[in-house]
Amino acid sequence: MKKLDWRFYLIFILFILSVYSLIPTFYKDLPKGVKKFFFIDPIKLGLDLQGGIHLLLEVETKEALKSTLQRRVIQIKESLNKKSLGYDSVRIDGESIVISTPFKEKWGEIEKTINDLFAKVEISKLKEDDLGVYYKIDVDQKTKDTIEENAVKQAVETIRNRIDQFGVSEPIIHSQGINQIVVELPGVKDPKRAIELIGKTARLEFKLLREDVTAEMIQKNLLPEGVELIQEKRVNRDTGEVQTYSIAVNREPLLTGDLLQDAQVKIDTRFNQPYVWLKFDAVGAKIFEQITGENVGKRMAIVLDNVSYSSPVIKDRIGGGEAVIEGSFDHKEATDLAIVLRAGSLPAPVKIIQNITVGPTLGKDSIVKGSISALVAFICVLAFMIIYYKKAGIISISVLILNLLFLIASMIFIKATLTLPGIAGIILMIGMGVDSNVLIFERIKEEFRLGKTVKTAIESGFNNAFWTIVDSHVTTLITAAILFQFGTGPIKGFAVTLTIGIVINLFTVLVGTKSVYDYLIWNKKITKLSI
């Protein structure tokens, strides 16, 4: 090799790119005129390094199944009514739907209607008496499992949408096990607000009030079938006091928030009070216009998570698909409500089973201690390599520095998150880099003992160590892949750093170190090697 070959040019280009990527991380207060030339963000720090919250949520998947059954009840009633097929009731009983009808001779048509509506249902006869016949509709187990599985997936996406609108950068959100979700929010300054935002089911419903239900009926628990009691919050405009009342509404909603297109915070200029303005999509607007036209003069409750925020009288048919939610909101509460409505309701309630808050001070301590541990490890390795392997040790240390530079730069380019376990992964890679060099050096020394020349000894040393190094790195890579696939947040951080480090270590040892020795042999024509 009489001149520098492609390997040196490749290493030089990677070195320049690495230095370029590290500048925004180490010099965060760059002048605007300089900052515009950097199209890359600083390295992302994980929860354990910059503080934030770690939540473990459990999705109540049985509620998702119940919601699905409620929708099916509505569909069954609508279809039977359209075909004038009489029935007494269609109701949910546990995880089944029960239909009762006095017209036994029409059951064949009813059964056909249900089978046309839903695939994979099992219909069985419960009982028969003087009042009629009762049938049970069961959803097969596979469908139930799919509903519950989809509820978790949908909950992950809904939570991610809410957090994106909340403004948290680089959150970690993923499912764990059968019905759990892990949420990590680095750098969150208001944990309580974030938790409320994540945990709110945000099930929006419009229900008709049942003003025929008297206080006496409520006290005696004599509610008609299909009627339920919910709480309504009313604000005294003069005093600002929030009062809670019980109201009776139809259990089945006229319209839900599934058809919502937009939700925004606006200000009522009369009372200087924020409210949430709603806009339905084309289908929702049509349904809203229809139900308001059919119920003029009646009161309709706007219900969010089983609490009514207002129940205005429908004075006329309302076109355009717009509605408002008024209540005792401050601007922050109204903003958060608009966020969860825009992001969509959760398919099932979630409960927080683990809540860990990491303060920024603790995170700063972790960075300092992690950096010190990496520096101490590097200095110890440096001292050992120089003392034991002399000039060859200096070459390996130079390549090791390049290894670390490439590793951190790669994490920045792929937008990986650096965590405390990730720092442990970096320290491990220092050890693997040294181990690879030690294998090569020992093979070279063996060749020297056989009386070979510098050039031949180096070539043989690299060739003999090549597959041993590749084998050790590939087996470690397989371990890292398994850790990433099945591990949680911190373990994934370790696995990411380990994977990137393995690839870079192979390149720097087998290409970088070899290039240095080739250059020394051919251009400097060395005849002795201090090893």
For 189, 446, 461, 498, 520, the CA distances from 471, given in Å and listed in that order, are: 46, 21, 16, 16, 28
How is residue 431 written in tokens?
């050890």
The CATH architecture assigned to 62-143 reads 2-Layer Sandwich (3.30)
* The predicted structure's pLDDT at residue 3: 56
* The predicted structure's pLDDT at residue 282: 87
Q: Which amino acid is at 28?
A: K
How is residue 411 written in tokens?
């994490």
342 touches 262 (CB < 8 A): yes
CATH superfamily of 6-50+360-523: Multidrug efflux transporter AcrB transmembrane domain (1.20.1640.10)
CATH 3.30.1360.200 location in the chain: 205-324
* The predicted structure's pLDDT at residue 298: 92
Ranges of beta strands (E only) in 385-507 are 417-418
Low-confidence ranges of the chain (pLDDT < 50): 1-2
96-101 and 132-139 strand pairing: antiparallel
CATH 3.30.70.990 location in the chain: 62-143
Q: How far apart are CA 527 and CA 520, in angstroms?
A: 10
CATH of 205-324, one of 3.30.1360.200, 3.90.100.10, 3.50.50.60, 3.40.50.2000: 3.30.1360.200
* The predicted structure's pLDDT at residue 341: 81
pTM to 2 decimal places: 0.61
Q: Which amino acid is at 253?
A: P
Task: Output the CA torsion sign for 340, 343, 347, 351.
Answer: negative
* The predicted structure's pLDDT at residue 218: 81
Quote the radius of gyration of the chain (alpha carbons, Å). Answer: 34
The number of CA neighbours under 13 Å toward the Cβ of 418 is 24
HEC string of 364-414? HHHHHHHHHHHHHHHHHHHHHHHHHHHHHHHHHHHHHHHHHHHHHHHHHHC
CATH 1.20.1640.10 location in the chain: 6-50+360-523
